[in-house]
Amino acid sequence: MNKRNKVKHLNREKGHRDALINNMITSLFKYERIESTQAKLKVVRSHAEKIITRAKKNLGDVAPEVKLHNKREVLKRVKDRNIVIKLFEDIAVRYANTNGGYTRILKLVNRPSDNSEVGILELTNRKDRPTLLKEIREKREVVADEKKAKAAKEAPAKKEKAPKKAPAEKKKSAAPKKAAAKPKKK
């Protein structure tokens, strides 16, 4: 009897399966859309929904130790700190008034090579590409401005150096260089 087997093995060992799921979750929150086989997407969707719910628990008045605990629990699955920050500050806020159903799976045509079912897993309140690119550009400009201000603050007034003089020409000696000694013939 093969009862109570809840784990989808995905034809992989435990370590490989966990790494695959973690990487796919990280990519989902980074790009807000991933493409893979249906079986993998169904497993990743359940984990992603739980992570978004965990991130939503940090909204509002929450004790600092609870916030830290939630962040550490999410870091077990999402391996990039910048993505975790995006998850807690951007994605969780988008779903603040939504109870579940944060992701959807769209079916695509089967892959021709092996006829496997392929689909797209995406966040339901996903930002479109032009909006995302605009936000990225604005963040880069803000970071660049901060770096310039910090550099200007650290080095307020450097002393100007006097212009360098041209190097003096070397005197050429009139005597030619000695040629290498020739071996004597016997």
Q: Strands 33-37, 103-107: parallel, antiparallel or unpaired by DSSP? A: unpaired
Residue range 22-62, pLDDT digits in tens: 999 999 999 999 999 999 999 999 999 999 999 999 998 99
Domains and CATH numbers, the chain: 14-125 (3.90.1030.10)
Cβ-based neighbour number of residue 67 at 10 Å: 14
Q: Which residues pair with 104 in a beta bridge?
A: 122
Cβ-based neighbour number of residue 50 at 10 Å: 15
Residue range 94-152, pLDDT digits in tens: 999 999 999 999 999 999 999 999 999 999 988 777 887 888 788 889 888 988 888 88
pTM over 0.75: no
